[in-house]
Structure 1
């Protein structure tokens, strides 16, 4: 089967087998380590050859005499496995090939589920997609508390968990938890679970610290095999709770896509198919349904677009074209933000949390300034209430945020970002005032959504330190950051801007200093077509609903309401 599925560029994952004598066991424990031979920056994946290697390891173990006491699988340092090798998807040009790769994954992983020898997954690090599905096929699972990324991200890309995930996960943690992992998390910027969250959902039976994770996992496995440890799992409600979970899933998918994206709807169908359990013919029927769904989706334009987008965001954005050498980056030990409104408050919160350096806001109005600082403090308190920061860290972060009625507070700042009204004259005046008090190496950044960076810097003594730094609202949620190089922006400024953006955990894209840059340029053209149709006599309700099949997050006129007519008009006039 694998010959027809050769991926010439597959980074082949090996499966190394060790036989370990374990105190308390009458025979050895067979430990499979899956490893592609590269460090953690190139995570372990499964292509046809990698799956064949895993199957060969299982063959070797089954042939050993005397029979081993247990079979365990773990990964290389920091990585368990992150799923299928996406580089080969472009080579799947027929539905038959798509079926083959889906069935191959089920065949190999299924051996861990159907084995008469107890199987254990020692999830030592990042586990996504097929890595999670391999662990789900094992009878027992341990999880390192250092595993920072656990997810089934397939619907984010335009496919479904196709190697058992849609069947095994809801039958392990319940349908509601499965909807959260497979749909809610995946469709919300590909949100990941940390180890604590995964364990709370029930994905793992037990967690151990990274320092002695493998040793503790082996000891725990021995205690399970000897009967001194009993693993209990909650009963799964296959009735009303299952129905309610699927209704929740459908509501969130409808809200995001309005029927336009096939993958999440196929995932809902598969979750319904899993209601009958994962034993015998029921499991075979469920995995066959996964095979069909994956084969169909691998042929869609939605998947190709999803993979292209994933490549842009996850790979190319990490090595963007045109970005100067990192060695030119200047340190940023204090940040200034001009303005104290809602956008400025969001920016102050982000810089404080990610950079953990002093952040000072300025405004002409004391009441508005107090509200801006209070907003940041309140948001940090909310993080504390949710357990996302400790009391000490919350206090430290709040102490970093301050306000000032004068720009003298920027005197020792290394990076000043303006977030004032979208008017070129106002922004030029602000930058002139800031330049008068900051040092010669301080970077001046603007959050403008459409104005010319070159014109904004034209009258400054040091125009080379001005750069566009355009966030999208809400700042904490949307990952894109447009970084705009003006005509005189120098390499050190641009390199520092990208370094700061990466530290803020944003997907940074270098864009041309053209009216409205990229996103708003496209958006304005798009909205212009809709409003033109209305001007020509199309009822607003009809025009607003016409684009529903595209699966946009919101309709054109709802978006206009959110943006505000004044901002929309300004951007249009800029274009």
Structure 2
């Protein structure tokens, strides 16, 4: 067997991905096929990733498979995981640009064996395929995907990098520059939006799609038919003329309007997409190597990686959160108010918790208006294909409205989203407390008022907690959880558990004016207005934070 051609640094804490080769004899093939399975020995909660040891293992597996009499070679992953890309934990350990360049070159050298293989190569994308995992699949001649696969994409731009193992060069030439720009730049900058199995099929990244139950068997049978010439895979002709240039120019304008100069990675990714129109694959690969090595040393990547790791850590166990075992189960939710924020909160609880949600307001007309807003948003979800007809019907049945707060009597959680005035909120909680059960949690969505002051008027202050959601509620991933000195462990544990069920990142905040986010925003705006007071032209100050 050949040795790995790139000298890579060692990372003692690498969770090593093995590459197991087995040979199968599909009916009708008239010979053997080599199936390589990537597996790190853990279940799906610890996805496979590609570090130096994993690269060497895949290299050895390709040595064995490509030197055999196999009529085709296929790569797949352990259950629910194809490959989650480069090992992100090792990136802060890179000591120099040279090490980063070596890692970039290693990925190209390794994956190119699949692209240049003399026998057909296939990627059987059975689950999560991110970054370098998706790029491995792109190097294969053909791809199948599981219909239930989730977490698919090229998210590198979201953490200050670019798809540096061939993604920026192969993808636009496979599905066109416009779709590629959306996958490589648009999705990462849109809350790091992920793709699903059917999305890969629709985009033309996957050539065939099969159900999860018999995915590998169906993929092997399909690959056999392709190799035998029984199935012809047709791909669209990509226009590499002026339209490609126009797409890139338009994308540059959109990116500049959205983030200005805050993401060098996004602009570098666009440079590489533009290069992919005319450059050879080798030239494009060299450009990716250099770009990746530069970006890995940039401060934007280091701060993005810090934020990524912080959010991931908070997602597992937020700092200061009590044991999840203390959390209560929520079976019905009440929302006080029927305005815009209240309607968004009501819909979020219905979608994520799938429990009855009831809204109230000062009179039946206001309550009905709020309910109509929620129903309108559900209609939009259905029209966009984000909710099936049955799902939309279920959501409509879960949300109701009334002018009578007596509907909160059997609620497990009641959250207020009324006018941001302390006396108004105190009056609301005083009224609600007379109706709800002893076990019901009371939650305020205040953006900065004293939760302690609200609790001071309650008979049972220990069951009040703050959960500050941001607008638009469905999009913003953060929720501030605010406990008072009276809030008990059960209430706090439930707030964090609910935030997780709502798919939000919860962060604990002290009960201080404006909490965390708005407090920082106030300080930032104070610097801007202070600069204006000291003579900076308003026109300059207005765009200062864009640059």
Distance 2:299 2:204 in 1: 35
Task: State the partner residue of 1:512.
Answer: 510
Which of 18, 40, 63 is residue 44 of structure 2 equivalent to? 40
TM-superposition CA deviations, 1:24-59 (whole Å, max 9, x none): 223210000001111100001000110110001011
Q: Is the partner of 1:292 in helix, strand or coil?
A: helix
TM alignment of 1:339-488, pairs within 5 A = 339-488=337-486
Q: Show structure 1 runs of 5+ residues with no match.
A: 550-575
Distance 1:482 1:40 in 2: 29
Q: Is the partner of 2:472 in helix, strand or coil?
A: coil
Task: State the partner residue of 1:199.
Answer: 201
Q: Is the partner of 1:5 in helix, strand or coil?
A: coil
TM alignment of 1:180-259, pairs within 5 A = 180-259=182-261
Distance 2:352 2:318 in 1: 21
TM alignment of 1:81-92, pairs within 5 A = 81-92=83-94
Which of 10, 16, 20 is residue 12 of structure 1 equivalent to? 16
Distance 1:353 1:61 in 2: 47
Q: What is the CA distance between 1:396 and its match in structure 2?
A: 1.7
Distance 1:73 1:221 in 2: 12
Task: State the partner residue of 2:148.
Answer: 146
Task: State the partner residue of 2:64.
Answer: 60
Q: Is the partner of 2:85 in helix, strand or coil?
A: coil
Q: What is the CA distance between 1:471 and its match in structure 2?
A: 0.6
Distance 1:396 1:99 in 2: 52
Task: State the partner residue of 2:283.
Answer: 285
- The TM-score, its normalising length taken from structure 2, stands at 0.97
User: Is residue 66–residue 73 contact of structure 2 (8 Å, CA) maintained in 1?
Assistant: no
User: Is residue 184–residue 252 contact of structure 1 (8 Å, CA) maintained in 2?
Assistant: no
Distance 1:12 1:20 in 2: 25
Q: What is the CA distance between 1:534 and its match in structure 2?
A: 2.4
RMSD of aligned residue pairs (Cα, Å): 1.2
Q: What is the CA distance between 1:537 and its match in structure 2?
A: 3.6
TM alignment of 1:281-360, pairs within 5 A = 282-360=280-358
- The TM-score, its normalising length taken from structure 1, stands at 0.93
Task: State the partner residue of 1:27.
Answer: 31
User: Is residue 179–residue 249 contact of structure 1 (8 Å, CA) maintained in 2?
Assistant: yes
Task: State the partner residue of 1:159.
Answer: 161
Distance 1:326 1:350 in 2: 21
Distance 1:407 1:316 in 2: 35
Q: What is the CA distance between 1:395 and its match in structure 2?
A: 1.6
TM-superposition CA deviations, 1:152-198 (whole Å, max 9, x none): 00000000000000000001100011001000001111100111111
User: Is residue 353–residue 397 contact of structure 1 (8 Å, CA) maintained in 2?
Assistant: yes
Task: State the partner residue of 1:490.
Answer: 488
User: Cα–Cα, structure 1 residues 426 and 202, in superposed 2: closer, same or farther, change >3 Å?
Assistant: same
Distance 2:32 2:158 in 1: 41
1:93 equivalent to 2:104? Answer no
Q: Is the partner of 1:234 in helix, strand or coil?
A: coil
Distance 2:66 2:83 in 1: 23
User: Is residue 314–residue 505 contact of structure 2 (8 Å, CA) maintained in 1?
Assistant: no
User: Is residue 314–residue 507 contact of structure 2 (8 Å, CA) maintained in 1?
Assistant: no
Which of 260, 263, 266 is residue 262 of structure 2 equivalent to? 260
Task: State the partner residue of 1:564.
Answer: none
321-330 or 252-261, larger mean C-alpha shift: 252-261
Distance 2:245 2:266 in 1: 16
Q: What is the CA distance between 1:247 and its match in structure 2?
A: 2.2
Q: Is the partner of 1:120 in helix, strand or coil?
A: strand
Q: What is the CA distance between 1:406 and its match in structure 2?
A: 2.0
TM-superposition CA deviations, 1:122-172 (whole Å, max 9, x none): 000011100100000000000000101211000000000000000000011
User: Is residue 2–residue 48 contact of structure 1 (8 Å, CA) maintained in 2?
Assistant: no
241-250 or 18-27, larger mean C-alpha shift: 241-250
User: Is residue 2–residue 52 contact of structure 1 (8 Å, CA) maintained in 2?
Assistant: no
Distance 1:62 1:390 in 2: 45
User: Is residue 2–residue 49 contact of structure 1 (8 Å, CA) maintained in 2?
Assistant: no
Distance 1:547 1:322 in 2: 32
Q: Is the partner of 1:276 in helix, strand or coil?
A: coil
Q: What is the CA distance between 1:388 and its match in structure 2?
A: 2.0
Distance 2:157 2:482 in 1: 32
